Amino acid sequence: MSNQDRFMDDMHFCIEVLGMKDDDAIQEMYDQIEKFNVSSIRYFFDEFVFIPEEGTPADMFRLHDPDYLNIKELT
């Protein structure tokens, strides 16, 4: 996948799937994947973030173990 295709896929993922509308929030996602040397935003979410298909965002926090791979501890 070319860099341009990856960028377009990431933009689509951020806007359409995650519902991000704020340019600053999207830029912060790019900053974080660069910081952790991850190839794309979609890959980061597919591998490291659990989002349930059904339910609400609150369900995501209920199902996560806060002590497992705590991002704050890695920064």
- Give residue-wise pLDDT tens across range 5-62: 989 999 999 998 888 888 998 999 899 889 889 889 988 888 877 666 776 656 666 6
67 lies in which domain range?
3-74
| Distances, alpha carbon 12 to alpha carbons 8, 58, 67, in Å | 6, 23, 30
What secondary structure letter does DSSP report for 22?
A: -
Count how many domains the chain has: 1
Instruction: Compute the half-sphere exposure of residue 30: CA atoms within 13 Å on the CB side of its CA.
Output: 14
pTM above 0.75, yes or no: no
